[in-house]
Structure 1
């Protein structure tokens, strides 16, 4: 077998996973007993694994998640009202496929952002596009974009991703301009993508936090009514770990 020309051809075609598997199998004496179909199947399987890993790494970089969190590392033992069955269901990412939303509320220090990033990380692994923003920073970025002509482009980038994570919303009341920005984001994603919101403010108070009644009705109708909810309670995890 002409090993080196075959490796060069695989590399030239961009089949780097197959090239590595071809080299590894060639050095494995047990692989000589494989049929041609089995050999080819192993090469293709390795190529698919490598490509999936590269896609995940690219999606994770683009998501810009705040925490390197994973759903496998979630702490269910601490008393904070986290429903294990619900969270495991959400980790399956079916809610993203169905364009439903998720709201995580609770006091400071209960791990809302960490849980949101864990679900975002899992969505990247399942080949969904994800984008993370802290809500105050996003509102500031939108205000700057409106002034320098990037506003429409930024809204399009927010609308394209399958999961948009809006972390740490509230408790400040939105300005009229910010309320309209949020309405644009939610409207663009209705039946097209999912939104994950974390907030220290309970959902019943969100209407007042938006400020303008008509805009608040429109936002909450689209955001809340189709959303799963995780309502955390208890003492701050930071305090318990420090103790």
Structure 2
């Protein structure tokens, strides 16, 4: 068998998954017993897996998720009011197809950011584009972008991803520029894309954080009315784990 020329041809065609599988199977003592169709099926399966893994790696790199979280690792035993049925339904991702939003609210330490990243990770695995942003840093980046010509490009990136995660919303009142930026982002995404927002503040306090009543009504209309709500409660999971560790 002309192993090396075949490998060269596969690599030249960019079929790197098939090339790796070909090399491995050809070196196996069972290779001669494989029918041609089984050989082909195996090579195609490895190529599909290789391409899927590369795309997933690229999506995760672009998403820049804060936590390495997965929906399979969610702890439903913690006393924080997490509705298991609702979260597992959200993990399926149909709300993203419907261009709905998700709001995760609750006190610090109950896992809002982690759960948001878990949903983001699942969306990446489902071949969707995702971008994670901490809201305080996002507004600072947008302010800088106004001065160096990146503002329009950054807004396009924020508006274009299928799932945008806005973490730590409401830590401080918005100024005029931040109100404008947030409305522009949500206006571009409304009815076209999905957004996850995490916040320590309950939704009924968001109007005060936004400040201007006209902007507040417009922002909340685009964000809240079609949102799935998860209102978490309880003590910080970090403090609970620390106490458990000390007891052990």
Normalised TM-score (structure 2): 0.94
Question: Residue 213 of structure 1 aligns with which residue?
Answer: 213
Counterpart in 2 of 1:79?
A: 79
Q: Distance in 2 between matches of 1:191 and 1:39?
A: 46
The number of aligned residues is 243
The Cα of 1:30 is off from its aligned counterpart by 3.3
Partner of 1:234 in structure 2? 234
1:43-62 → structure 2 map (5 Å cutoff): 43-62=43-62
1:38 Cα deviation from its structure 2 partner: 2.3
Give the Cα–Cα distance (whole angstroms) in 2 for the partners of residues 114 and 155 of structure 1: 25
Per the TM alignment, residue 28 of structure 1 is displaced from its structure 2 partner at its CA by: 2.9
Give SS of 1:173's match.
coil
Report the counterpart of residue 93 of structure 1 in structure 2: 93
Matched, 1:135 2:135: yes
Q: Distance in 2 between matches of 1:92 and 1:43?
A: 30
Distance 2:192 2:30 in 1: 50
Alignment partner of 1:3 is 2:3 = yes
SS state of the match for residue 133, structure 1? strand
CA positional deviation for 1:37: 2.2
Query: What runs of 5+ residues in structure 1 fail to find an aligned partner?
Result: none
The match for 2:163 is 163
Supply the distance in 2 between the matched residues of 1:8 and 1:91 (Cα, whole angstroms): 42
Any idea what SS the aligned residue of 2:30 has?
A: helix
CA deviation vs aligned residue, 1:148-189 (integer Å, no higher than 9, x gap): 221111101111111110000113221122111100000011
Report the CA distance between 1:35 and its aligned residue: 2.9
Question: Structure 1 residues 42-51 or 211-220, which shifts more?
Answer: 211-220
Deviation, 1:31, is 4.0
The Cα shift of 1:130 comes to 0.8
Match of 1:175 in 2: 175
Looking at structure 2, the residues matched to 23 and 5 of structure 1 have their Cα atoms a distance apart, in angstroms, of 11
1-side partners of 2:89 and 2:45: how far apart? 28
SS of structure 1 residue aligned to 2:103? strand
Within 2, Cα distance between the matches of 1:130 and 1:2? Answer: 44
Alpha-carbon shift at residue 8 of structure 1 (Å): 0.7
Secondary structure, in 3 states, of the residue corresponding to 1:29? Answer: coil
Structure 1 runs (4+) greater than 6 angstroms displaced: none
**How far apart in 1 are the matches of 2:50 and 2:162?**
23
Q: Distance in 2 between matches of 1:33 and 1:25?
A: 11
Q: CA RMSD in A?
A: 1.2
Which residue pairs with 2:246 in the alignment?
A: none
Distance 1:233 1:144 in 2: 36
